[in-house]
Amino acid sequence: MQPEAISGWSDAVAPHPLAELLECPPSIQNQLNSSAQSLDFQSGEVVFQQSSPCKGLYLIVSGLFQRKTERLESRLTLSPARPGNLVELAASLGDDRHTYTLTALVAGSVLLLPAGALSRAFQVFPRLRMRLLEELAREVSRGYSASRLTRNSKPRRHGAADGAGRGSGGQPPSAGGPSHA
């Protein structure tokens, strides 16, 4: 992929500003603002558990939070959630079950936009749901890109660039001689 293409692609999947994502008519803004709940967490406290019912959309206000998930008998640590991150778009827009566990790494706070208030806002102003679905698609693309980069940047075995498993001069080692593979 050409550098210009990479730059254009990364711009397309970059997170959009929060104010742009949540932009809606004043009456809906007032409804969401009045229903929002500020929640404080100490280090080690769990904000929500994977597979538990989702209470709404979470905005990280302060602190640092760890995302962990269990998939196919494997435990995975996902990227940390930082101030300004919307978390659990998938659960709040989808099947209402958390897709990972969120735990405070340091003291912090989150703003919860309750599911009921979001649902009412989506009914009155469907474009809000559409913007959040688009952001979810960008989030998935960023995650896919990060996993591809991780897979493609695995450390090379010693000698991989000059014919690993080959003797000097790039020839296979002799049957009785030493092997550097």
| CATH code, domain with 55 | 2.60.120.10
- The Cα–Cα gap between 109 and 59 comes to 9
> Residue 154: inside a domain, yes or no?
no
* Domain encompassing residue 23: 3-143
**Where in 13-164 does DSSP place strands (E)?**
37-41, 46-48, 56-62, 65-71, 74-77, 86-87, 101-104, 108-114
How many domains in the chain?
1
User: 42-90: per-residue pLDDT in tens?
Assistant: 999 999 999 999 999 999 999 999 999 988 888 888 889 999 999 989 9
> Residue 166: inside a domain, yes or no?
no
Compute how many other C-beta atoms are within 10 angstroms of the C-beta atom of residue 150.
9
> Residue 157: inside a domain, yes or no?
no
- Closest to 119 in 3D by CA, of 91, 86, 92: 92
pLDDT of 18 strictly over 80? no
Compute how many other C-beta atoms are within 10 angstroms of the C-beta atom of residue 115.
17
173 SS3 class: coil
> Residue 134: inside a domain, yes or no?
yes
> Residue 117: inside a domain, yes or no?
yes
- The Cα–Cα gap between 23 and 28 comes to 9
> Residue 165: inside a domain, yes or no?
no
> Residue 149: inside a domain, yes or no?
no
